[in-house]
Structure 1
């Protein structure tokens, strides 16, 4: 798999029926290793080991219904009170981060109302903080680390 713009992490792999799987420590299972999954697993490690978010506050690939359409978000990080701190949208490294990707996470956030958004294709990362009162967002250099 391609080298990504994240710190180097250790992963568990399994090969079965000529398909490589990677262990997801949040879902506690092996999942087929696709380019987007490679990015998602790096992002999870980044959130856990660099930003210190507890695993118990992280949720991966759950269904979300928006305008009666079934969608799946990549990663959500909750606050300890159950509100949503962060939504992460992961794309394959070959996918350009463009307006369509920002529109996708904005649609998810119209329902979820997170404090922060992160978009990554493993090479480029974009972070923003939401300001609902003024109906704006501000791009950041990084997302803040977890604070108890």
Structure 2
């Protein structure tokens, strides 16, 4: 490992530990994304997202092929990108995960931003996480209301 790699302080998250492939090049830290099979610049938000990918696949046993990153969607004529979407086996959006940097507090404004993305995808579950705190919501399409859940959703069928 590079000497600079040993010095980088990555925050410990409230998610299972895993050993990502990290490397330094061009003066930046990079992390290997197992979904897109390429190196990405390691940002605090990416650190959280990669932990979620690992947790969903390795601990919760979500099929890797059902996860997609940064799906583009149009909202008020602006192109927005979701952080992580899990699809069910029928090809419908199942779980939307909005990742924030660990230092970003999860506030009503954060939840409202995630709800904007949710409006397009209408997933049964919405999860907002800064890696330290996680808010999991289920969505009832009939009443158009969210309910906070105490646990994470099961893998989709």
1: CA distance between counterparts of 2:96 and 2:136? 10
Give the C-alpha shift of residue 144 in structure 1: 2.2
Question: Structure 2: any 5+ residue segments left out of the alignment?
Answer: 1-9
Match of 2:103 in 1: 94
2: CA distance between counterparts of 1:18 and 1:46? 29
Instruction: Check if 1:5 corresponds to 2:25.
Output: no
Say whether the 8 Å CA contact 1:88–1:118 is kept in structure 2: yes
2: CA distance between counterparts of 1:61 and 1:144? 20
SS state at 1:21 partner: strand
Over aligned residue pairs, what C-alpha RMSD do you find? 1.0
2: CA distance between counterparts of 1:90 and 1:59? 14
Match of 1:15 in 2: 24
1: CA distance between counterparts of 2:26 and 2:156? 43
- Deviation digits for residues 19-51 of structure 1 (CA, Å, limit 9, x no counterpart): 110001111101001111100100111111121
1: CA distance between counterparts of 2:123 and 2:152? 12
SS state at 1:7 partner: coil
Structure 2 matches for 1:67-78, cutoff 5 A?
67-78=76-87
Question: Structure 1: any 5+ residue segments left out of the alignment?
Answer: none
1: CA distance between counterparts of 2:76 and 2:69? 21
SS state at 1:23 partner: strand
Larger Rg: 2
1: CA distance between counterparts of 2:91 and 2:22? 32
- Deviation digits for residues 32-74 of structure 1 (CA, Å, limit 9, x no counterpart): 0111110010011111112111111000112111121111100
Say whether the 8 Å CA contact 1:91–1:120 is kept in structure 2: yes
